[in-house]
A and B are shown apart, each in its own frame.
Chain A
Amino acid sequence: MKETDPDVELLARIGHQDPAAVNEMVSRKLPRLLALAGRILGDADEARDVAQETFLRIWRQAANWRSGEARFDTWMHRVALNLCRDHLRRRKERPLNENEDINEVVDSTPAPDEQLEAAARSEQMAAALASLPDRQREAIVLQYYQELSNIEAAALMNISVEALESLLSRARRNLRSYLAETPGHARPGRET
């Protein structure tokens, strides 16, 4: 039996301009979108831009959504992923500015010692993710952090499941190697 899409009913209500449905969609999907774009881009401001633009497309699409063609969550990931790719492409085209301000995606609020330690680990992990080639980072973010199935993640990346597994293996090896050897920061799309 085919699994029902949990977002379809909400989309129909948004199509009828129901404010409560809009609130629920934002609560349900905004953290997910920020997590995706934040980890792919490594920049909080750009992640917010991607989230906002994705929601504009959601509002436009809601009234015309046809269930059964694709899961809404997968469609939303495709939209956001394409926007992230555009950001990364533009970033590579821009000349590198040494003084460029990096808007950290991680929580920067002051915290007690144990939280500072956790924040340091988080920053190190962010740097490790940022050091990955774009395709490897996409694979690990979609499969591990966004918890998409291997079939969904492979479809979003337009590759086979076997190719996805290969990208994931290389990503995890590279992360392990980075974390073992290299403290410090890197930014996605800024490999020098």
Chain B
Amino acid sequence: MMTPERFAHLAEAYGADLRRWPTAEQPEAHALLRSGDATALDALQQARQLDSLLDSHQLAPLDLDLARRIRLSAPVARPASFWTRYAGWLSPAGVIGVGIAGVAVGMLVASLSLPAPRLIPDVLPSVFDQGDAEIVFTVNAEEAEQ
């Protein structure tokens, strides 16, 4: 059971609002107040006066610039920029890959733009050239014999 002295001690520590008191002691404190105990009522009145003075301490309005700076200090996900999206291309492997692709394309373009070499009919074999056919047949015949 809560004594008037314990009530006064708690009021002196926690103030007049019983919701700020230790949870376990609140029901008995309320009961003592309901009983009209003079010591308890007086302690509560004194505590209420100081609470009122404590509540008079006002703080400056919120500094919006500070709030903005703090928000900017947070690591938030931002939409990917062009360079962020293609940053992989700038990696060493990416650079080498792009280089090789460039050389290949260059060679292709160069080969297509050069005039075709003049072909000499005498040098090229002809499908009507019987001499070669004989040789082939001869070779094949020798292999068959073996």
Contacts and interface: CB of A to CB of B under 8 A. Distances in A.
Given A107-B60, A168-B14, 8 more contacts: A19-B74, A55-B70, A59-B74, A122-B58, A125-B54, A145-B54, A173-B12, A179-B53
Contacts of A143: 14, 20
Interface of A: 14, 16-19, 22-23, 26-27, 30-31, 34-35, 38-39, 44, 48, 51-52, 55-56, 59, 104-109, 118-119, 121-122, 124-126, 128-129, 140, 143-145, 147, 149-150, 161, 164-166, 168-169, 172-173, 175-176, 179
B35 interface: no
A169 B53 CA distance: 16
A52 B13 contact: no
B69 interface: yes
B93 interface: no
Interface of B: 9-10, 12-15, 20, 22-23, 47, 50-51, 53-54, 56-63, 66-67, 69-71, 73-77
Q: 3 tightest A-B contacts by CB?
A: A17-B77, A125-B57, A168-B13
Contacts of A161: 22
9 contacts: A38-B60, A55-B70, A107-B58, A107-B59, A109-B61, A126-B57, A144-B20, A168-B12, A172-B50
A165 B20 CA distance: 12
Contact of B77 (A18, A124, A126): A18
B59 A106 contact: yes
Nearest to B62: A31
B73 A59 contact: yes
Contacts of B59: 31, 34-35, 38, 105-107
A61 to B, nearest CB: 12
B74 A150 contact: no
A44 B60 contact: yes
